[in-house]
């Protein structure tokens, strides 16, 4: 059994059973991966992948367990390298983060600027995606940290740290009737076509809760994963926008933002990383720059708990910032 073989089967699983894509990611050949996978299966005496002729269609029951253990081995190997780098190259390295467009566009620039000034020799990579894509990237070790604002049930099996709450605003053009509304209600909002985030992306479930509680079926005519796209279609007159308040800036002089924190429950932004992951010093610093109450001491306490319900209790006395 070779480490390379374990790496191959993990990457095939990461690429949805596509050996060609796995070969591309690993800079090797498809026949080479197929050969090594077969050699590993022969050595173990079990098939790792279910096949339909020459095509892989899934993992066998033992294959699922073998790939899971292989992921842990690869993470430990990476941890060993990271420990060594921490002592030999403490100011150098790579930090990979997965997050949503809104976080990357409106929250991270100031954090990245501060981090880059402190660690100019750390290469920073930011991947944007949906909650599911963010989770998959974290679990497949494509990223070190995940910043998530919704679908937090996906992250039950990782360390999940609370950062801050954020509210929503209703966005309209200055000539829209709601622009003059002194006290916005769900009933009034329900009269208009709505443009908001894709369901399950950044709090759509909280919108549903508010409308359902009022017995109103919202007329959602357009959804997007990007706040800037929502603003674009509001400008086109397609409907009324509902998005994170932080996404309305001084540059949006042609749009009116109406506070809606009295209508919708606030959502929480959290940072996640895998249990057992070795965090470099600069990773702890990045987390702290993003959320000041997440000091290294507090993060290490959360790491030791291995249960997110206990992590919530750990930070229960912390007053989170509301944006």
Q: What is the pLDDT of residues 183-211, one digit of tens each?
A: 899 999 999 999 998 765 544 567 778 88
Residue 199, pLDDT score? 63
Residue 151, pLDDT score? 61
Residues 14 and 48 placed together within one structural domain of the fold: yes
Q: What percent of the chain has pLDDT over 70?
A: 97
Residue 88, pLDDT score? 80
Residue 129, pLDDT score? 84
If one counts every other C-beta atom within 10 angstroms of the C-beta of residue 23, the result is 20
286 or 129: which leads in pLDDT: 286
Domain boundary among 37, 54, 82: 82
| Residues in a beta bridge with 98 | 127, 146
Domain boundary among 27, 57, 82: 82
How many structural domains is the chain composed of?
3
| Residue-number span of the structural domain to which 9 is assigned | 3-82
CATH number at residue 201: 3.40.190.10
**What average pLDDT score do residues 136-144 get?**
87
Residue 71, pLDDT score? 84
CATH number at residue 38: 1.10.10.10
Residue 205, pLDDT score? 67
Residues 232 and 248 placed together within one structural domain of the fold: yes
Residue 113, pLDDT score? 96
Query: Cβ distance 178 to 194 under 8 Å?
Result: no
Task: Tell me, yes or no, whether 320 lies in a domain.
Answer: no
């Amino acid at each position: 059994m070779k480490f390379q073989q374990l790496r191959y089967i993990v990457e095939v699983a990461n690429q949805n059973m596509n050996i060609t894509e796995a070969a591309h990611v690993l800079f090797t050949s498809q026949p080479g991966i197929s050969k090594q996978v077969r050699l590993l299966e022969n050595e173990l005496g079990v098939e790792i992948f279910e096949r339909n002729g020459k095509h892989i269609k899934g993992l066998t029951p033992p294959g699922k367990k073998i790939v899971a253990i292989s992921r842990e081995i690869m993470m430990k190997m990476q941890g060993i390298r990271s420990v060594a780098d921490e002592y030999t190259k403490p100011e150098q390295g790579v930090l990979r983060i997965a997050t949503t467009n809104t976080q990357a566009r409106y929250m991270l620039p100031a954090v990245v600027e501060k981090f880059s000034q402190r660690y100019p020799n750390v290469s920073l990579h930011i991947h944007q995606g949906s909650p599911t894509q963010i989770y998959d990237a974290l679990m497949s070790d494509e990223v070190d940290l995940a910043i998530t604002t919704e679908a937090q049930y996906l992250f039950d099996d990782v360390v999940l740290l609370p950062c801050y709450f954020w509210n929503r605003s209703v966005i309209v053009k200055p000539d829209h009737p709601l622009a003059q509304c002194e006290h916005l209600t769900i009933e009034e909002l329900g009269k208009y076509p709505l443009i908001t985030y894709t369901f399950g992306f950044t709090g759509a479930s909280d919108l549903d809760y508010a409308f359902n509680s009022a017995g109103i079926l919202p007329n959602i005519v357009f959804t997007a994963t990007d706040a800037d796209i929502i603003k674009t279609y509001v400008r086109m007159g397609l409907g009324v926008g509902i998005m994170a308040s932080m996404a309305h800036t001084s540059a949006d002089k042609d749009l009116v933002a109406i506070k809606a924190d009295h209508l919708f429950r606030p959502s929480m932004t959290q940072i996640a990383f895998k249990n057992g992951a070795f965090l470099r010093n600069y990773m702890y610093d990045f987390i702290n720059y993003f959320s000041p109450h997440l000091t290294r001491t507090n993060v290490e306490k959360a790491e030791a708990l291995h249960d997110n319900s206990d992590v919530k209790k750990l930070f229960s006395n912390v007053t989170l910032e509301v944006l």
